[in-house]
Protein backbone atom coordinates (compact mmCIF):
# COMPACT_ATOMS: atom_id res chain seq x y z
CA UNK A 1 0.00 0.00 0.00
CA UNK A 2 1.27 3.46 -0.92
CA UNK A 3 2.11 5.80 2.02
CA UNK A 4 -0.68 8.19 3.09
CA UNK A 5 -3.52 5.91 1.96
CA UNK A 6 -4.66 6.04 5.59
CA UNK A 7 -3.39 9.41 6.90
CA UNK A 8 -2.42 9.50 10.59
CA UNK A 9 -2.13 13.28 10.93
CA UNK A 10 -2.61 16.60 9.12
CA UNK A 11 0.62 16.51 7.09
CA UNK A 12 -0.12 13.01 5.80
CA UNK A 13 -3.65 14.04 4.81
CA UNK A 14 -2.19 16.97 2.85
CA UNK A 15 0.40 14.70 1.26
CA UNK A 16 -2.38 12.37 0.14
CA UNK A 17 -4.22 15.31 -1.47
CA UNK A 18 -0.94 16.33 -3.11
CA UNK A 19 -0.48 12.85 -4.61
CA UNK A 20 -4.11 12.87 -5.79
CA UNK A 21 -3.41 16.22 -7.46
CA UNK A 22 -0.34 14.78 -9.22
CA UNK A 23 -2.38 11.83 -10.44
CA UNK A 24 -5.52 13.64 -11.59
CA UNK A 25 -4.49 17.16 -12.62
CA UNK A 26 -0.86 16.50 -13.56
CA UNK A 27 -1.27 13.01 -15.04
CA UNK A 28 1.78 11.57 -13.29
CA UNK A 29 2.43 7.83 -13.54
CA UNK A 30 1.88 5.37 -10.69
CA UNK A 31 5.64 4.92 -10.43
CA UNK A 32 6.15 8.67 -9.96
CA UNK A 33 3.36 8.87 -7.39
CA UNK A 34 4.85 6.00 -5.39
CA UNK A 35 8.29 7.62 -5.50
CA UNK A 36 6.99 11.03 -4.35
CA UNK A 37 4.94 9.43 -1.54
CA UNK A 38 7.89 7.38 -0.26
CA UNK A 39 10.21 10.39 -0.38
CA UNK A 40 7.83 12.60 1.62
CA UNK A 41 7.00 9.79 4.04
CA UNK A 42 10.69 9.29 4.78
CA UNK A 43 11.19 12.99 5.50
CA UNK A 44 8.08 13.19 7.72
CA UNK A 45 9.20 10.17 9.72
CA UNK A 46 12.78 11.43 10.10
CA UNK A 47 11.74 14.91 11.16
CA UNK A 48 8.64 13.94 13.17
CA UNK A 49 6.63 16.23 10.87
CA UNK A 50 2.94 16.28 11.80
CA UNK A 51 1.71 19.69 10.60
CA UNK A 52 2.90 22.07 7.83
CA UNK A 53 4.41 24.46 10.41
CA UNK A 54 6.85 21.69 11.42
CA UNK A 55 8.62 22.11 8.08
CA UNK A 56 11.18 24.81 8.80
CA UNK A 57 14.32 25.97 7.02
CA UNK A 58 16.44 24.62 9.87
CA UNK A 59 14.69 21.24 9.74
CA UNK A 60 15.28 20.99 5.99
CA UNK A 61 18.94 22.01 6.43
CA UNK A 62 19.47 19.29 9.03
CA UNK A 63 17.76 16.72 6.82
CA UNK A 64 19.96 17.56 3.86
CA UNK A 65 23.05 17.26 6.06
CA UNK A 66 21.76 13.88 7.19
CA UNK A 67 21.29 12.73 3.58
CA UNK A 68 24.73 14.01 2.58
CA UNK A 69 26.40 12.09 5.40
CA UNK A 70 24.29 8.96 5.13
CA UNK A 71 26.09 5.73 4.24
CA UNK A 72 24.16 3.16 2.21
CA UNK A 73 24.21 -0.59 2.73
CA UNK A 74 26.89 -0.88 0.06
CA UNK A 75 29.12 1.43 2.11
CA UNK A 76 28.88 4.43 -0.24
CA UNK A 77 27.37 7.88 0.16
CA UNK A 78 24.05 8.85 -1.39
CA UNK A 79 24.52 10.10 -4.94
CA UNK A 80 24.15 13.86 -5.42
CA UNK A 81 21.37 13.28 -7.93
CA UNK A 82 19.44 11.29 -5.28
CA UNK A 83 19.89 14.08 -2.76
CA UNK A 84 18.74 16.66 -5.31
CA UNK A 85 15.67 14.55 -6.09
CA UNK A 86 14.68 14.58 -2.40
CA UNK A 87 14.90 18.37 -2.39
CA UNK A 88 12.89 18.68 -5.61
CA UNK A 89 10.07 16.51 -4.24
CA UNK A 90 9.88 18.52 -1.01
CA UNK A 91 9.95 21.82 -2.91
CA UNK A 92 7.15 20.64 -5.22
CA UNK A 93 5.06 19.68 -2.19
CA UNK A 94 5.64 23.09 -0.59
CA UNK A 95 4.58 24.83 -3.82
CA UNK A 96 1.37 22.82 -3.73
CA UNK A 97 0.71 23.86 -0.12
CA UNK A 98 1.30 27.52 -1.03
CA UNK A 99 -1.27 27.29 -3.84
CA UNK A 100 -3.73 25.90 -1.30
CA UNK A 101 -3.04 28.95 0.94
CA UNK A 102 -1.63 26.70 3.67
CA UNK A 103 1.05 28.52 5.74
CA UNK A 104 4.38 26.69 5.65
CA UNK A 105 8.00 27.14 4.54
CA UNK A 106 8.34 28.97 1.21
CA UNK A 107 9.47 26.60 -1.56
CA UNK A 108 12.04 29.18 -2.69
CA UNK A 109 13.92 28.64 0.57
CA UNK A 110 15.02 25.24 -0.71
CA UNK A 111 17.88 25.43 -3.17
CA UNK A 112 18.40 22.28 -5.17
CA UNK A 113 21.90 23.06 -6.38
CA UNK A 114 23.61 21.83 -9.52
CA UNK A 115 23.94 18.10 -9.91
CA UNK A 116 27.09 16.71 -11.50
CA UNK A 117 26.82 15.81 -15.18
CA UNK A 118 25.34 12.37 -15.71
CA UNK A 119 27.68 9.63 -16.83
CA UNK A 120 26.24 7.96 -19.90
CA UNK A 121 27.53 4.47 -20.64
CA UNK A 122 26.94 3.17 -24.14
CA UNK A 123 28.24 0.47 -26.47
CA UNK A 124 30.15 1.04 -29.67
CA UNK A 125 28.37 -0.28 -32.74
CA UNK A 126 30.81 -3.20 -32.95
CA UNK A 127 30.03 -4.09 -29.33
CA UNK A 128 26.30 -4.05 -30.05
CA UNK A 129 26.91 -6.42 -32.96
CA UNK A 130 28.96 -8.75 -30.73
CA UNK A 131 26.25 -8.67 -28.07
CA UNK A 132 23.55 -9.66 -30.57
CA UNK A 133 25.72 -12.33 -32.19
CA UNK A 134 26.21 -13.93 -28.77
CA UNK A 135 22.55 -15.06 -28.92
CA UNK A 136 23.17 -17.38 -31.89
CA UNK A 137 21.36 -20.69 -31.42
CA UNK A 138 18.41 -22.76 -32.58
CA UNK A 139 16.27 -22.83 -29.42
CA UNK A 140 13.18 -20.73 -28.76
CA UNK A 141 15.12 -18.93 -26.05
CA UNK A 142 17.94 -18.00 -28.47
CA UNK A 143 15.46 -16.62 -30.99
CA UNK A 144 13.65 -14.72 -28.22
CA UNK A 145 16.85 -13.24 -26.83
CA UNK A 146 18.05 -12.06 -30.24
CA UNK A 147 14.67 -10.42 -30.85
CA UNK A 148 14.89 -8.65 -27.49
CA UNK A 149 18.36 -7.23 -28.12
CA UNK A 150 17.56 -6.24 -31.71
CA UNK A 151 14.39 -4.47 -30.58
CA UNK A 152 16.20 -2.65 -27.78
CA UNK A 153 18.75 -1.23 -30.23
CA UNK A 154 16.18 -0.59 -32.97
CA UNK A 155 13.58 1.26 -30.87
CA UNK A 156 15.47 2.64 -27.86
CA UNK A 157 12.91 1.17 -25.48
CA UNK A 158 13.03 1.31 -21.71
CA UNK A 159 13.08 -2.18 -20.18
CA UNK A 160 9.68 -1.58 -18.54
CA UNK A 161 8.26 -0.69 -21.97
CA UNK A 162 9.71 -3.80 -23.57
CA UNK A 163 8.37 -6.29 -21.02
CA UNK A 164 4.94 -4.64 -21.18
CA UNK A 165 4.54 -5.33 -24.90
CA UNK A 166 1.90 -7.73 -26.16
CA UNK A 167 2.04 -9.43 -29.53
CA UNK A 168 -0.72 -7.26 -30.99
CA UNK A 169 1.19 -4.08 -30.12
CA UNK A 170 3.90 -4.70 -32.71
CA UNK A 171 3.05 -4.16 -36.37
CA UNK A 172 5.77 -5.90 -38.37
CA UNK A 173 4.19 -4.99 -41.72
CA UNK A 174 4.31 -1.24 -40.99
CA UNK A 175 7.67 -1.66 -39.20
CA UNK A 176 6.54 0.65 -36.42
CA UNK A 177 4.31 0.69 -33.35
CA UNK A 178 3.19 3.04 -30.63
CA UNK A 179 4.41 2.75 -27.05
CA UNK A 180 3.11 4.38 -23.89
CA UNK A 181 6.10 5.51 -21.85
CA UNK A 182 6.80 7.65 -18.81
CA UNK A 183 4.04 10.03 -17.81
CA UNK A 184 1.63 7.97 -19.91
CA UNK A 185 3.03 9.70 -23.02
CA UNK A 186 2.47 8.01 -26.37
CA UNK A 187 5.22 7.88 -28.99
CA UNK A 188 5.98 6.04 -32.21
CA UNK A 189 9.00 3.72 -32.37
CA UNK A 190 10.43 1.99 -35.40
CA UNK A 191 11.53 -1.55 -36.21
CA UNK A 192 14.76 -1.97 -38.15
CA UNK A 193 15.06 -4.69 -40.83
CA UNK A 194 17.26 -6.77 -38.52
CA UNK A 195 14.80 -6.41 -35.63
CA UNK A 196 11.90 -7.28 -37.94
CA UNK A 197 13.64 -10.48 -39.07
CA UNK A 198 14.52 -11.44 -35.49
CA UNK A 199 10.95 -10.87 -34.29
CA UNK A 200 9.49 -12.86 -37.20
CA UNK A 201 11.82 -15.79 -36.52
CA UNK A 202 11.02 -15.72 -32.81
CA UNK A 203 7.25 -15.51 -33.25
CA UNK A 204 7.36 -18.33 -35.80
CA UNK A 205 8.78 -20.52 -33.04
CA UNK A 206 5.95 -19.70 -30.65
CA UNK A 207 3.19 -22.28 -30.34
CA UNK A 208 1.58 -20.92 -27.16
CA UNK A 209 -1.34 -18.50 -26.88
CA UNK A 210 0.25 -16.20 -24.27
CA UNK A 211 -0.50 -12.58 -25.28
CA UNK A 212 2.90 -11.32 -24.02
CA UNK A 213 5.43 -10.57 -26.74
CA UNK A 214 8.32 -11.92 -24.68
CA UNK A 215 7.77 -14.87 -22.39
CA UNK A 216 9.94 -16.90 -20.02
CA UNK A 217 10.72 -20.55 -20.48
CA UNK A 218 10.44 -22.47 -17.22
CA UNK A 219 13.20 -25.00 -17.83
CA UNK A 220 15.69 -22.27 -18.63
CA UNK A 221 15.53 -20.72 -15.17
CA UNK A 222 14.43 -17.28 -16.32
CA UNK A 223 10.83 -17.38 -15.20
CA UNK A 224 9.60 -15.79 -12.00
CA UNK A 225 9.15 -18.43 -9.27
CA UNK A 226 5.48 -17.47 -9.10
CA UNK A 227 5.15 -17.89 -12.87
CA UNK A 228 3.04 -21.04 -12.70
CA UNK A 229 0.35 -19.10 -10.84
CA UNK A 230 0.24 -16.18 -13.25
CA UNK A 231 -2.06 -15.77 -16.22
CA UNK A 232 0.94 -14.97 -18.40
CA UNK A 233 4.57 -16.13 -18.50
CA UNK A 234 5.60 -12.58 -19.43
CA UNK A 235 9.28 -11.86 -18.84
CA UNK A 236 10.01 -9.63 -15.87
CA UNK A 237 12.25 -6.58 -15.81
CA UNK A 238 14.73 -8.45 -13.60
CA UNK A 239 14.85 -11.38 -16.02
CA UNK A 240 15.68 -9.08 -18.94
CA UNK A 241 18.38 -7.36 -16.89
CA UNK A 242 20.00 -10.74 -16.17
CA UNK A 243 19.64 -11.71 -19.82
CA UNK A 244 21.46 -8.61 -21.07
CA UNK A 245 24.28 -9.05 -18.56
CA UNK A 246 24.64 -12.71 -19.52
CA UNK A 247 25.13 -11.96 -23.22
CA UNK A 248 27.45 -9.03 -22.52
CA UNK A 249 29.69 -11.37 -20.55
CA UNK A 250 29.42 -14.05 -23.25
CA UNK A 251 30.39 -11.48 -25.90
CA UNK A 252 33.46 -10.50 -23.89
CA UNK A 253 32.27 -6.96 -23.18
CA UNK A 254 33.95 -5.72 -20.01
CA UNK A 255 31.56 -2.79 -19.47
CA UNK A 256 28.73 -3.03 -16.93
CA UNK A 257 25.89 -3.49 -19.42
CA UNK A 258 22.23 -2.94 -18.53
CA UNK A 259 19.12 -2.70 -20.73
CA UNK A 260 19.36 1.10 -20.42
CA UNK A 261 22.88 0.88 -21.88
CA UNK A 262 21.26 -0.21 -25.13
CA UNK A 263 18.87 2.75 -24.98
CA UNK A 264 21.90 5.03 -24.58
CA UNK A 265 23.59 3.21 -27.46
CA UNK A 266 20.51 3.74 -29.65
CA UNK A 267 20.47 7.49 -28.98
CA UNK A 268 24.22 7.91 -29.37
CA UNK A 269 24.27 5.98 -32.65
CA UNK A 270 21.52 8.20 -34.07
CA UNK A 271 23.30 11.44 -33.13
CA UNK A 272 26.70 10.28 -34.34
CA UNK A 273 25.17 9.42 -37.69
CA UNK A 274 23.60 12.84 -38.14
CA UNK A 275 20.16 12.74 -36.49
CA UNK A 276 19.05 16.06 -35.01
CA UNK A 277 18.53 16.21 -31.27
CA UNK A 278 14.81 17.07 -31.48
CA UNK A 279 14.16 13.90 -33.48
CA UNK A 280 16.10 11.83 -30.95
CA UNK A 281 14.14 13.49 -28.13
CA UNK A 282 10.91 12.40 -29.82
CA UNK A 283 12.10 8.84 -30.41
CA UNK A 284 13.24 8.46 -26.80
CA UNK A 285 10.05 9.99 -25.42
CA UNK A 286 11.83 12.64 -23.35
CA UNK A 287 9.52 15.37 -22.06
CA UNK A 288 12.37 17.90 -22.00
CA UNK A 289 15.16 18.49 -24.52
CA UNK A 290 17.46 18.99 -21.52
CA UNK A 291 17.26 15.26 -20.79
CA UNK A 292 18.28 14.39 -24.35
CA UNK A 293 21.20 16.81 -24.25
CA UNK A 294 23.15 14.44 -21.98
CA UNK A 295 24.16 12.72 -25.23
CA UNK A 296 25.58 15.80 -26.92
CA UNK A 297 28.79 15.66 -24.89
CA UNK A 298 29.43 12.13 -26.16
CA UNK A 299 28.73 12.99 -29.77
CA UNK A 300 30.86 16.14 -29.55
CA UNK A 301 33.76 14.02 -28.31
CA UNK A 302 33.22 11.60 -31.19
CA UNK A 303 33.18 14.43 -33.72
CA UNK A 304 36.43 15.65 -32.22
CA UNK A 305 37.97 12.21 -32.83
CA UNK A 306 36.76 12.27 -36.44
CA UNK A 307 38.16 15.77 -36.88
CA UNK A 308 41.54 14.79 -35.50
CA UNK A 309 41.62 11.63 -37.59
CA UNK A 310 40.82 13.62 -40.76
CA UNK A 311 43.57 16.15 -40.10
CA UNK A 312 46.08 13.43 -39.26
CA UNK A 313 45.45 11.79 -42.64
CA UNK A 314 45.68 15.13 -44.40
CA UNK A 315 49.03 15.93 -42.79
CA UNK A 316 50.30 12.49 -43.77
CA UNK A 317 49.27 13.09 -47.40
CA UNK A 318 50.93 16.53 -47.41
CA UNK A 319 54.19 15.10 -46.08
CA UNK A 320 54.27 12.52 -48.88
CA UNK A 321 54.09 15.14 -51.63
Q: Which of the following is catalytic: 64, 234, 264, 286?
A: 286
**182 catalytic residue (yes or no):** yes
Q: Which of the following is catalytic: 96, 202, 247, 295?
A: 295
Tell me phi and psi for residue 182, to 5 degrees: -60, 145
**260 catalytic residue (yes or no):** yes
**286 catalytic residue (yes or no):** yes
User: What value, to the nearest 5°, has the Cα angle with vertex 88 and ends 156 and 22?
Assistant: 75
**263 catalytic residue (yes or no):** yes
The residues that bridge with 188 in the sheet, in sequence order, are 178
First to last CA, the chain: 76
Sign of CA dihedral 129, 135, 136, 138: negative
Residue environment code for 66-86, b if the CB has 16+ CB neighbours within 10 A, otherwise e: ebeeeeeeeeeebeeeebbbb
**295 catalytic residue (yes or no):** yes
CA-to-CA distance for 57 and 224, rounded, in angstroms? 46
Please state at what angle helix 237-250 crosses helix 140-155, rounded to 10 degrees. Answer: 100
The residues that bridge with 176 in the sheet, in sequence order, are 171, 190
Tell how strand 186-190 and strand 176-180 pair up: antiparallel
DSSP H stretches of helix in 156-292: 159-163, 193-205, 237-250, 259-272, 277-284, 289-292
Q: Which of the following is catalytic: 180, 182, 187, 245?
A: 182
Q: Which of the following is catalytic: 91, 141, 158, 234?
A: 158
Tell me phi and psi for residue 226, to 5 degrees: -90, 10
In this structure, are residues 49 and 9 in contact, taking their beta carbons and an 8 Å threshold? no
Q: Which of the following is catalytic: 146, 196, 234, 263?
A: 263
Residue 252: is it exposed, middle or buried by C-beta count within 10 angstroms (0-12/13-18/19+)? exposed
Please state at what angle helix 140-155 crosses helix 125-133, rounded to 10 degrees. Answer: 160
Catalogue the active-site residues: 158, 182, 260, 263, 286, 295
Amino acid sequence: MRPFEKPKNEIEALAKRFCDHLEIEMGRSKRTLDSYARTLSYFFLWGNIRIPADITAEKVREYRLYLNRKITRSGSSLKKVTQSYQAIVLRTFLKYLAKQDIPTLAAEKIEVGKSPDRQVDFLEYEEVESLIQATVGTTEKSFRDRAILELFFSAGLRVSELVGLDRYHVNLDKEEFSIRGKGDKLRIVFISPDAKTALKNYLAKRVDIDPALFIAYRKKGLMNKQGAKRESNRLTVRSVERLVKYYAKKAGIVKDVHPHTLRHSFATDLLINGADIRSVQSMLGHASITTTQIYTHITNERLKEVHQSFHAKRKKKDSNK
